[in-house]
């Protein structure tokens, strides 16, 4: 399966909104974990949010209440709605997939993910 690129990253002002999209090939899988991660310049990649096939979700504390992860299971799309953006949200955002099982309790562990998108840049200015 080929992981297609994310889209939706832009430069926006603080307080603005963006919606990231990622086409994910999960057709036929009874179990999977989809995630959004981000990597700011000079920092390690960190988990933002994950969603299981049953739509249960996890969020990093830094984005709770502002970001929403969702999926379109009919068309195999993953989304990240980002509201009330802050300067510290500036980063390259990546979608990621684990095929064959649910997101683990340690959903932020990068090594668990099988495939990664190419990334889309989000820049938030004050």
DSSP 19-73: EEEEE---TT-SSEEEEEEEE-TTS--EEEEEEETT--EEE-TTTTTTEEEEEET
Mean pLDDT by 10 residues, the chain (126 residues): 73 98 90 97 97 96 98 94 98 95 92 92 97
| pLDDT digits 0-9 by tens, 76-108 | 999 999 999 999 999 999 999 999 999 999 999
pLDDT score recorded for residue 27: 84
Residue with tokens 């009330």: 84
pLDDT score recorded for residue 97: 95
Please tell me the distance from the alpha carbon of residue 125 to that of residue 114, in angstroms, as a whole number.
33
- Between vectors from CA 52 to CA 46 and to CA 57, what angle results, nearest 5°? 60
Judge contact between 59 and 69, C-beta under 8 A: yes
């Amino acid at each position: 399966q080929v992981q297609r690129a994310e889209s939706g990253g832009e430069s926006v002002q603080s307080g603005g909104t963006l919606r990231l999209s990622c086409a994910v090939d999960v057709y036929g899988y009874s179990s999977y974990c989809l995630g959004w991660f981000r990597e700011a310049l000079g920092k390690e990649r960190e988990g933002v949010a994950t969603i299981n096939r049953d739509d249960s979700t996890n969020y990093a504390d830094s984005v709770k209440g502002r970001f929403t992860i969702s999926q379109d299971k009919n068309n195999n799309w993953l989304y990240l709605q980002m509201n009330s953006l802050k300067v510290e949200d500036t980063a390259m955002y990546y979608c990621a997939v684990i095929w064959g099982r649910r997101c683990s309790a340690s959903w932020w562990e990068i090594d668990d993910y099988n495939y990664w998108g190419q990334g889309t840049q989000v820049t938030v200015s004050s």
